[in-house]
Copies of this chain bind each other. A is one copy, B any other.
Amino acid sequence: MAFSRHIFILALVAGCLLPSGVQALWPIPTTLETGMTALKISPSFSFDVQIEDAPSDLLDAVAESQYYLENDKLGRLVVGRGANDTTALASAMTLSNLTLSLTSGATVDSISSEAIKPLGTRSEEYALTIPADGSAATLTANSTLGLYRGLTTFNQLFYYYGGVIYTLIAPIAITDTPAYPFRGLTLDTSRNYYPVSDLLRTLDAMSWVKINTFHWHITDSQSFPLEVVQYPEITINGAYSPQEVYTASDVQYIVQYAAARGIDVLMEIDTPGHTAIIGATYPDYVACFDAAPWADFANEPPAGQLRFALPEVMNFTASLLSDVAKTLPSSYFSTGGDELNTNCYTDDYPTQQQLNSTGTTLNDALDTFTQSTHGALIAQGKTPVVWEEMVLDWNITLSNETIVMIWISSADAAAVVEKGFRIIQAPSNYFYLDCGAGEWLGDDPTGNSWCDPFKTWSESYTFDPLANLTEAQYGLVLGGEQCLWSEQSGPQNVDPIVWPRAASSAEIFWSAKQPTGAALNVTEALPRLHDVRYRMVQRGINAIPLQPQWCALRPDACDLYA
């Protein structure tokens, strides 16, 4: 074969000097060998699925891949956008086939089934080979999910100019497997509501960079847009309007849409804080409901938290969570647990009466409550997920299986891991997409964002998932995610505030290192991220430009010290 390690290293070192398309791939694969030969996609190009009784979602994914191949029409990010490639293309061979197959002995199951398996048991790896001589390209994997990941890579390899779809870097050999099993994106659909179509579009974009978890913070104190069949009044009184609801069938549709794209939906019903709006239906269940001044009782308006010490509230919450959880195929469900404000209970008569009459503390009541809600979820076969305060601020008993989300600071990861829990890295100081947009509270014109500054893609990209951990603890890091909290966001800006920035964590937790084994590097990454962003725009995602187009067409020319 014509490609060699030598050429690959040359491509990495020479970067922009080569007429190459290596910059196309995001996340960067585990191993990557490329050549310098032009190769065109044949007008009669076809995908050849060599799998008996191939699942329908794999066939759908193949059809989508074919659609992107033909319709991306992305010009290379060089001056002229491919106009100078016509000479190379005149004599180029054509590629007519990509064959997809599973490794021998692999179970044939749908992408949707593979995508929702427990973390650590999914096979996302694949191998992709594209010869330079026009013979068939091959994509192989141990699962349909792996094939799906390979298809997203295949699509990133091709550019368009003057009616020709092509690559300049054949032959290509890729083997690829994720460094971490969890690569997520959190979206808060409570502070402001996102129509279903915006979620579907976001899931599409997630799949293109191999994000595999949609962490859906679906409810909060401001609104409860989720329909729960057993508790219809919560939504009737808690959604912003009857139109701003995720019906049970919407949720099923979204979950299935996600799974077909290799994405598990980790739903979160945050408790016992972040629940004020439940008080609109069950005023007896919520302490300090809409109390003023809100700042005495909550981190943001409105105040209101579940009276978790009351047995009836505990039972209600356990039922609510398990009624929702049992409709979802995921193995995971988040009960939240962040920002519980104890001031809310200090003068709350029902809570204090209960604590006094039973001789328990607030901490012990929270322990009982959490064991009840988590017990109900575990009984449904779910693994509970919580925010870090449940481990760091409270002394409660959690199953060892519980997964803990780091958010307040990246510095907190070590303390959680020290307790033996598996973690997901979502630290606000690297990964909060809403930071830097200024104060959103009223009557505070000089106030800034609490988590200033804005997290650029490159700042996020410098995150080290294993910082401050011992090697023995590395296995406890399941992965990470960027988060969009929606105080100042909605369908109007979800694309530009999320993309392409959320691709940063997608690569950190898929690739971890360059194919050379070197650390990820912002300077190497930027041209590839431009490429991903321009491709997203071609597919209808309003991803922001990271730089003037002049820079995007000239790798490194706009570096600080260029």
Contacts and interface: CB of A to CB of B under 8 A. Distances in A.
Interface of A: 81, 190-193, 221-223, 240-241, 244, 277, 292-295, 300-302, 436-449, 452-456, 458-459, 461-462, 486-493, 495-497, 522-523, 526, 537, 542-551, 553, 556-562
Given A441-B559, A442-B556, A545-B492, A550 B449 contact: no
B459 A437 contact: no
Contacts of A542: 491-493
Contacts of A562: 292-294, 301, 442-443
Contacts of A486: 545, 548
A333 to B, nearest CB: 24
A487 B549 CA distance: 8
Given A522-B442, A558-B441, A544 B293 contact: no
Nearest to A244: B549
Contacts of A452: 452-453
A522 B438 CA distance: 15
B441 A488 contact: no
Contact of A547 (B440, B454, B523, B558): B440
A485 to B, nearest CB: 10
Given A192-B549, A302-B550, A493-B493, A437 B439 contact: no
A549 B295 contact: no
A486 B547 CA distance: 8
Closest 6 CB pairs of A and B: A438-B456, A493-B496, A222-B550, A492-B542, A442-B559, A191-B548
Contacts of A445: 456, 458-459, 461-462, 522
A81 B542 CA distance: 30
A439 B455 CA distance: 9
A293 B560 CA distance: 9
Contacts of A455: 438
A453 B453 contact: yes
B561 A293 contact: yes
For A446, A448, A548, A550, the residue with the greatest tally of chain B CB atoms inside 10 Å of its CB is: A548
28 contacts: A191-B550, A223-B548, A244-B549, A293-B561, A294-B557, A294-B558, A300-B558, A301-B551, A301-B562, A436-B437, A438-B453, A439-B560, A441-B558, A442-B522, A442-B523, A442-B559, A443-B562, A444-B458, A447-B560, A452-B452, A454-B454, A488-B547, A489-B544, A490-B545, A492-B495, A492-B542, A492-B545, A496-B497
B438 A302 contact: no
Nearest to A557: B301
A381 B544 CA distance: 40
Given A301-B562, A452-B453, A550-B223, A459 B446 contact: yes
A551 to B, nearest CB: 7
Contacts of A453: 436, 438, 448-449, 452-453
A535 to B, nearest CB: 13
A23 to B, nearest CB: 13
Given A222-B548, A447-B456, 6 more contacts: A223-B548, A244-B549, A438-B456, A440-B558, A443-B526, A449-B453
Nearest to A486: B548
Nearest to A190: B548
A488 to B, nearest CB: 6
B458 A545 contact: no
A560 B193 CA distance: 23
A459 B191 CA distance: 22
Contacts of A549: 191-193, 222-223, 240, 244
A364 to B, nearest CB: 32
Nearest to A526: B442
B192 A545 contact: yes
Contacts of A487: 547-548
A302 B496 CA distance: 25
Contacts of A190: 548
Contacts of A300: 558
B441 A560 contact: yes
Contacts of A526: 442-443
Contact of A438 (B240, B459, B537, B550): B459
A438 B556 CA distance: 18
A492 B301 CA distance: 31
Contacts of A490: 544-545
Contacts of A496: 492-493, 496-497
Nearest to A240: B549
Contact of A493 (B454, B459, B488, B544): B544
A546 B488 contact: yes
Given A492-B496, A496-B492, A558-B301, A546 B456 contact: no
Given A449-B453, A454-B437, A562-B293, A492 B442 contact: no
Contacts of A436: 436-438, 453-454
A134 to B, nearest CB: 31
Given A452-B453, A558-B301, A561-B295, A548 B443 contact: no
